[in-house]
Structure 1
Amino acid sequence: MTLLEVKNLKKIYTTRFGGNQVHALTDVNFSVDEGEYVAIMGESGSGKTTLLNILAALDQPTSGQVMLQNKNIVTIKEKELAAFRRQNLGFVFQDFNLLDTFSIQDNIFLPLVLSGKSYNEMNARLVPLAEKLRISEILTKFPYEVSGGQKQRTAVARALITNPKLILADEPTGALDSRASDDLLRIFSQINQEGQTILMVTHSTKAASHAGRVLFIKDGTIFHQLYKGSLSNEAMYQKISETLNIIATGGGRNA
């Protein structure tokens, strides 16, 4: 079943000086099914971040639709957007976006507190999640007291605790060392196998090779896509590398 459908999405920025128009997204169309794990790749300036911000309802497109379970998020009123994000979307950022004055536990609880959930319900959700993500022993610590990998697992817990329809991840391995990156990618694969839908923007070929499908964006539109199928991570890595090379050298669409 289709969870997310992006239709004819365009985004045009007008520069402050000179009034020049920048076409960040020209005509983006794709869909994501429930339970998919999709990576989006492209060179700097290709439109990846703009696309993610629109999917996260943090920016408005110039035209087009973003349908999440048949609801067009583009038309949601400003005063309703924060609640919509909490109820439907989970976010994992490169720089973690944790509050240093909050404990690990309170950082994870934050979206539920904002939704008015009781402590008993929050705790009931946290205990199995913290165990799964191996952060039970650090819940009383503060972000500045734990490692980068632990911070990112905390961010994943915060994203998952609301039971979101879709996880949006922005360069989630970008601030991690190789060991912590591998750990996070295992976690993403695990939660995807359990049914969580994930859409990840990444520069990392290794990270993208764990996804079930990779969309390549070039000049503000979808250039190509790869399906993993039965390929190993290593074989998918090679296919992604070949496609990125075609994009970088200005070749045509990869077959």
Structure 2
Amino acid sequence: MTLLAVNHLKKEYKSKRSTQKVLALKDVDFQVNEGEFIAIMGESGSGKSTLLNCIATLDKPTAGHILLKNDDLANLKDKDLAAFRRDHLGFVFQDFNLLDTLSVKDNIYLPLVLAKNTKGKEEKLAHLAKQLGIEDLLNKYPYELSGGQQQRVAIGRALITKPELLLCDEPTGALDSKNAADILNLFDECHENGQTILMVTHSSLSASHAGRVLFIKDGTVFHQLYRGDKSEQEMLVAINEAMTNLLGGQS
């Protein structure tokens, strides 16, 4: 079943110093089925982060439509956007975005508190903490944790509301190779449990965990690669080949 549909999306920005317009997204069109794990790749400036921001309702497209379960996000009023993000989307960022003044436990609880939906929060936290391997960190503060531990906490915060769609923006970009591998394995577990994931990444290794990779070039979906029965290593090789073609301008 289709969870997310991006239809002919276009995004233009006006330069503050001139009348020239920058076309970040030209005509992006794709669908995400429930339970898919999709990675989005492309060069810097290709439009992948703009695409993620539009899906996250952090930016408004110039034209086109984004539908989450047939609800057109363009029809949402500004006053309703924060509640929509909180209720339907989960976010994992490169720099974690945790609040140092709150304990790990309270950072994870924060979306539930903001939604005034704290019933059963202890049970939800206990389940996530075990899954994420952070049971002994709940009373610590973010500044006391390593980068890998902070990202685990950030994933817990993103998942506590059981979002329909988990959006990840370079989630392993600030981590060393071991912690990055641990985080990707956690995403694999989340995906196996039915979580739909959309991840922007520069890393071919990160993208090799996805079931499908979208390659963005000049504001359009240039190519798609499906994992099928490929192993992670085979997928990694295929992604690197596709990126070489992308950078070389080949189709």
**Bin for the TM-score computed over the shorter chain:** over 0.9
SS of residue matched to 1:187: helix
- The Cα of 1:83 is off from its aligned counterpart by 0.7
Q: Taking every aligned residue pair, what percent have the same amino acid on both sides?
A: 57
- The Cα of 1:24 is off from its aligned counterpart by 0.2
Structure 2 unaligned blocks of 5 or more: none
SS of residue matched to 1:59: coil
Partner of 1:223: 222
SS of residue matched to 1:163: coil
Partner of 1:203: 202
- The Cα of 1:74 is off from its aligned counterpart by 1.5
> 2 CA distance for matches of 1:230 and 1:176?
29
Partner of 2:78: 78
> 2 CA distance for matches of 1:176 and 1:17?
36
> 1 CA distance for matches of 2:16 and 2:144?
42
Letter of the 1:130 partner, please give it: A
Letter of the 1:184 partner, please give it: I
SS of residue matched to 1:30: strand
Letter of the 2:168 partner, please give it: A
Partner of 1:160: 159
SS of residue matched to 1:23: strand
Partner of 1:117: 117
* 1:89-125 C-alpha deviation (Å, 9 max, x unpaired): 000000000001110000000000001123x521111
Partner of 1:183: 182
Partner of 2:143: 144
> 1 CA distance for matches of 2:66 and 2:59?
12
* 1:132-183 C-alpha deviation (Å, 9 max, x unpaired): 1000100000001011111000000000000100000000000011110000
SS of residue matched to 1:12: strand
SS of residue matched to 2:100: coil
SS of residue matched to 2:236: helix
> 2 CA distance for matches of 1:149 and 1:107?
16
Count of residues in Structure 1 that have an aligned counterpart in Structure 2: 251
Q: Runs (4+) of structure 1 moved beyond 3 Å?
A: none
- The Cα of 1:250 is off from its aligned counterpart by 1.3
- The Cα of 1:64 is off from its aligned counterpart by 0.5
> 2 CA distance for matches of 1:177 and 1:19?
42
Q: Taking structure 1 as the reference length, what is the TM-score of the superposition?
A: 0.97
- The Cα of 1:14 is off from its aligned counterpart by 1.1
> 2 CA distance for matches of 1:215 and 1:168?
14
Q: CA RMSD in A?
A: 0.6
What are the within-5 Å matches in structure 2 for residues 81-92 of structure 1? 81-92=81-92
- The Cα of 1:75 is off from its aligned counterpart by 1.4
> 2 CA distance for matches of 1:39 and 1:250?
20
> 2 CA distance for matches of 1:70 and 1:135?
36
> 2 CA distance for matches of 1:125 and 1:112?
10
> 1 CA distance for matches of 2:40 and 2:34?
17
SS of residue matched to 1:80: helix
Partner of 1:128: 127
Letter of the 1:203 partner, please give it: H
Partner of 1:28: 28
Q: Taking structure 2 as the reference length, what is the TM-score of the superposition?
A: 0.99
- The Cα of 1:126 is off from its aligned counterpart by 0.4
What are the within-5 Å matches in structure 2 for residues 43-62 of structure 1? 43-62=43-62
Partner of 2:10: 10
> 2 CA distance for matches of 1:81 and 1:13?
21
Structure 1 unaligned blocks of 5 or more: none
Letter of the 2:106 partner, please give it: D
Q: Does 1:212 align with 2:215?
A: no
> 1 CA distance for matches of 2:18 and 2:109?
46
> 2 CA distance for matches of 1:143 and 1:18?
42
> 1 CA distance for matches of 2:83 and 2:14?
30
> 2 CA distance for matches of 1:227 and 1:250?
20
SS of residue matched to 1:95: coil
